[in-house]
Chains A and B, each alone.
Chain A
Amino acid sequence: MGLDVLSLNYTLSIVMAGSFILGISSGVLSSFAVLRQQSLLGDVISHAAFPGITLAFLWMMTKDPLGLFFGALVSGWIGTLLVKSIVTYTKLSMDTAFGIVLSVFFGLGIVLLSYIQRLPTSDKAGLNSFLFGSASTLLLQDLIVMGLFCFIILVFLGLFWKEFKLLTFDTSFMSSMGFPVAKLDMLLTILLVMAIVLGLQMVGVVLMSAMMIAPAAAARQWTSHLGLMVFLAGFIGLLSGCIGTLVSNAIPQVSTGPMIVVVISIMVIISLVFAPHRGLVCNWIKGYYHRVNIRANSILMNMLLFSESKTDPYHCHQLSALVAIGRGPSLRTMLQLKRQKLVQNPQDDLWGFTELGYKKALTLKKSLYSQSHEH
């Protein structure tokens, strides 16, 4: 019994460490993929990596993680090169090239997998887990390889941080300064392939692409600073990875990949709705106050128009008179202005400027006047 608990904890800590590594590396790289508008390239690479895994297995006849990762890396890389050459040498568009490479490579992987499954080897069982991902099959040796890849990714990202930032933002400016743009582009793509390959065993070929989009898509809503976005994306990736694997570990028949994707999608939805500045809720509120403000300003302008015909700018008018000259005020807006001490109503239904309100109306008029002359 005691041993069971111990081994469970052992498995669990490996799984958690795995999702930790996965979350960081894919979160960080997803920022660059999304900003470079290469979101769907992740989908292509992860599918294209699949035949590499099966071929590597056929070559070694064991599930040595380094070998499998290497196979995936090479075949994912070949996939991106093929996409590039199809787009360069034919009239086919980028997304058609994506579709071709993705589906044909995956088909090849399936053929090889069905071939492997007929072989009398005992070690083949776990290969299936590369399709939908499985956290429970993760071993310490897998973890070491994942950690190694993640380390390489982070080191390169640190070394070439400013170059990658510029590459993502403005390639033509970068090449004008004499930077080797094509080489840096290749390096960043290789890191992207590494980040994808690293997550395949846990999330699976089919859904890994979501890990290359969602963390960045969520993080982008919270910040307008690249460094912070990359950090947040890493954190969001990590959090979803951990939650997803924990849940799928707790419910045995649930695959890890889909669970992680659902968790991270929820994170994206929360970010889209609730993030400050960019979030939808914030936008609705801003839009509401904007409309209220415009309405209040137009009332002040109308009142100014009225008061210009009088010698006393603080002369009071009936609400119905103010309504008559278009885009009229509602009682609610008037009361609101009164709360802001911009208007006063000494008697029922008689409204006039306060001193503050008159000043504000005059500055409003001035700014409107200068604006219309600028254009």
Chain B
Amino acid sequence: MSIEQLSIIGLASLVSISCSLCGVYLVLRRLALISDAISHSILLGIVCSFFIVHDLNSPLLILGATLTGVLMVYLTEILVASKRLKKDASIGLVFPLFFSISVLLINLFAADIHLDQDSVLLGEIAFTPFRLLTIWGYNLGPASLWVMGGILVLNVVFISVFYKELKLTTFDHGLAAMLGFFPAYLHYAFMAMVSITAVGAFESVGVILVVALMIVPPATAYLLTNRLFPMMILSIVFGLASSLLGYSMAFYLNVSIAGSMAVMTGILFLLVFLFSPSQGLIMKFLTFQQQRILFSTNMLLIQLLEHEGTKTEKTENTVSNLIVHMKWTFKFANSIVSYALEKGFIQRHDDRLLLTSFGREKAKRVIVMDA
């Protein structure tokens, strides 16, 4: 593998790790589409700052981008607070405007620099090896690697310093406010963090595919675990896997690297969506029958318990009544009865059904569980 390929893979890895880290909180806070809005909005900051400094590598660009990201969030919240528009419409109005203005500015004034429409949408991870950072004449390797590395460090520091607070504000906003954690400030700090990460990632993969790297790996991880820390680790794993697989796919098929990475996040998501042991579609489909039997057995047990010792018990608690009452087929009623017999919940005397003491306990537990 050549040094060029290595630096591309390195950058892809850094981008995907940083995005996954932010993304976990975006997904948990139900702010997934804010990442879309932010990644579109930062372009305005980048373009405006560029007109000031005329240098695409200036750190001022990151600052300007972060500011516009946060400004977009603020504007949306003002619109919502004015009660003239709902939240989704407000988001959907502000970021296209920001994005349109920046594209027009690029169209009009920056056509000759390499900030063109295509690189905005597609990123230019393929050019990574050719933009080198040189300080006092020393070649320090690709500049993007340094920038993205710095952003990753910032992410890690931010999340470890505010881990407790982030966790609390994510899961219980009201409690966090009561305990004096200023969830609003933390929210904006977090939005700034997302913006910074988006700026770094945007250069590599473009505006829209940032969303894939931020949202899809954490969403995939969330289908496998409910706990915060494992979810972070898993989403980093998925992020890394998609960038590596995506790069190989792009390499062998000679197609867009950024696009391939996004497709890979999607394929991994699809696999987990289908095969996850707890949330997977196939597992759910397989357990559907099982659940139906369990539920029907519960219904049977409660029915028996309710009519136990009543005058109508002899007619109510019979197999034939089940068929009429529950609208079960003869076959299904028999399969439920034999399942309950097998589990030792009931006894059968011809048509009549009686609860065992074990079955009675189970029935009561089912009812109490609902409370």
Q: A residues within 8 Å of B by Cβ?
A: 34, 37-40, 42-43, 47, 86, 89-93, 95-96, 98-100, 102-115, 118, 128, 131-132, 206-207, 209-210, 212-214, 216-217, 220-221, 251, 253-255, 257-259, 261-262, 265, 268, 272, 278, 280
Contact = CB atoms under 8 A, between A and B. Distances in A.
A212 B93 CA distance: 10
B82 A114 contact: no
A49 to B, nearest CB: 13
Contacts of A114: 122, 255-256, 259
A108 B266 contact: yes
B215 A254 contact: no
Contact of B103 (A100, A209, A258): A258
A93 B256 contact: no
A113 B262 contact: no
B150 to A, nearest CB: 25
A19 B36 CA distance: 27
Contact of B209 (A90, A96, A103): A103
Interface string B96-108: 1101110110011
Interface in B68-109: 82, 84-86, 88-89, 91-93, 96-97, 99-101, 103-104, 107-108
A278 B86 contact: no
Given A95-B31, A99-B214, A104-B212, 8 more contacts: A92-B27, A96-B215, A98-B32, A131-B117, A132-B103, A217-B93, A262-B100, A265-B97
22 contacts: A39-B89, A40-B91, A40-B92, A90-B223, A96-B27, A100-B216, A100-B266, A103-B36, A104-B216, A107-B266, A110-B121, A115-B253, A131-B117, A132-B103, A206-B121, A207-B96, A210-B100, A213-B93, A258-B103, A262-B97, A265-B96, A272-B82
Contact of A91 (B82, B209, B279): B279
B25 interface: no
Contact of A107 (B86, B89, B96, B259): B259
A86 to B, nearest CB: 7
User: Which of the listed residues B85, B99, B281 has the most CB atoms from chain A within 10 Å of its own CB?
Assistant: B85
Contacts of B36: 43, 99, 102-103
Contact of A253 (B108, B209, B281): B108
B279 to A, nearest CB: 5
A96 B263 contact: no
A92 B231 CA distance: 14
A247 to B, nearest CB: 10
A210 B216 contact: no
B100 A107 contact: no
B8 to A, nearest CB: 15
A217 B93 CA distance: 9
Contact of A37 (B86, B117, B284): B86
Contact of A89 (B82, B91, B121, B284): B284
B215 A99 contact: yes
